[in-house]
Amino acid sequence: MKTENDSYINNDKQNKIIMSAKRKARWNTILLMLSIIFLILPFGYLSTVIYYKVNDRANNEIFVLETIYSLTEPNLQVDDTQIELEFTPFFGLHLSAPLYKEIGSETLKAGSYDSNLSLGFKRNESVNLTVKENTMNLRDREFSFIYPNQDIPSRLMNGLDKLNEIPEGTVTEAFLSLDKSYAPKEVESLLSDYDIKIVWNAVDTGLEDEMIDKDGSVVTPIGYPEENTAPSNSSFTEEDNKDLFVEQLNYLDTQKKITTSIMGEVSIASKERLDYINQNGIKIYGVVITGPTKEIQELGTQEEIRGIHIGEVEFWNWNR
């Protein structure tokens, strides 16, 4: 005959059995989830590597970034020898690189670029500059250079006054807007009597008057470094700086998806610009130069110089 005490003992055993079963189920669930995670992560990573290796997507990400900076950011370049690239699961790609600019005879670090690409298309990027930014506000259509037939804005009219305030024993980065578009050889001749260095050339592509493409999007200024060189391991073959510029612009036209992802709402208008250059050749309407401040001050008084924007100023390092 069962006693009340026996019923209590049986219920206690049942509760212990139930609790033990729950603990086992919980641990089984945890182990299953961990197993799934440990299986998914390598699969996700492997899928990412394959995705970016196919059609050379990873290298194209690097080359497009370098080319965009080279052609659209006057005197601001990515150092292709220091680019860091990291794959993350589920089609993620982290890319970071230092940015440099030339001031006087030295190449100085100007900041850093950082980009995170997720799911193969969603980009989150940041640019941190340690130097003064150029006069480039694309949203309000304020640029480092002014096209020859346009009125000179106040920000580009007081460059000579600023040069007068800079002491001797310094080197300066200056953005010069010219009175018309010149052939590259003509620009070299125009500046040949001055102890300065041409760093970057702003190219007239037929869009610079309005800075809007055929679809109504704001376009970025375009040009090429005077010492234009192809990124290491790239497929670019041209060695002349002008020919390489055209080859690079053609390359960006073939990589519209990546280019648009980096540029956002701003257009490079590569096809329109290539058509214009093929018909009219390369003409220069602005240059970035660097050299002794007083030398640039003297150059700035010439009638061919319509506007000057002063960039970075450094202590004397001129050894040309």
For the chain, list residues with pLDDT below 70: 1-55, 90-91, 119-122, 125-126, 132-141, 320
Q: Is residue 237 part of a domain?
A: yes
Q: Is residue 15 part of a domain?
A: no
pLDDT digits (tens, 9 = 90+) for 186-204: 999 999 999 999 999 999 9
Q: Is residue 50 part of a domain?
A: no
**Global pTM?**
0.82
Q: Is residue 258 part of a domain?
A: yes
Where does residue 141 fall: left (phi above 0), alpha (psi -120 to 50 degrees), or beta otherwise? left
Task: Give the residue numbers spanning the domain of 142.
Answer: 56-315
User: Cα separation of 13 and 212, whole Å?
Assistant: 81
Q: Is residue 48 part of a domain?
A: no
pLDDT digits (tens, 9 = 90+) for 108-131: 999 998 888 776 556 776 677 777
Q: Is residue 20 part of a domain?
A: no
Cα torsion at 156, 159, 162, 166 (round to 10°)?
Answer: 140
Residue with tokens 């969603």: 122
pLDDT of residue 46: 57
pLDDT of residue 61: 86
Q: Is residue 5 part of a domain?
A: no
Q: How many residues does the structure list for the chain? A: 320
pLDDT of residue 152: 85
Whether 313 and 172 have beta carbons less than 8 Å apart is answered as yes
Question: Would you call 126 exposed, middle or buried from its count of C-beta atoms within 10 A (0-12, 13-18, 19+)?
Answer: exposed
pLDDT of residue 226: 96
Q: Is residue 184 part of a domain?
A: yes
| Count of the separate structural domains present in the chain | 1
pLDDT of residue 42: 58
pLDDT of residue 154: 81
User: Cα separation of 198 and 62, whole Å?
Assistant: 26
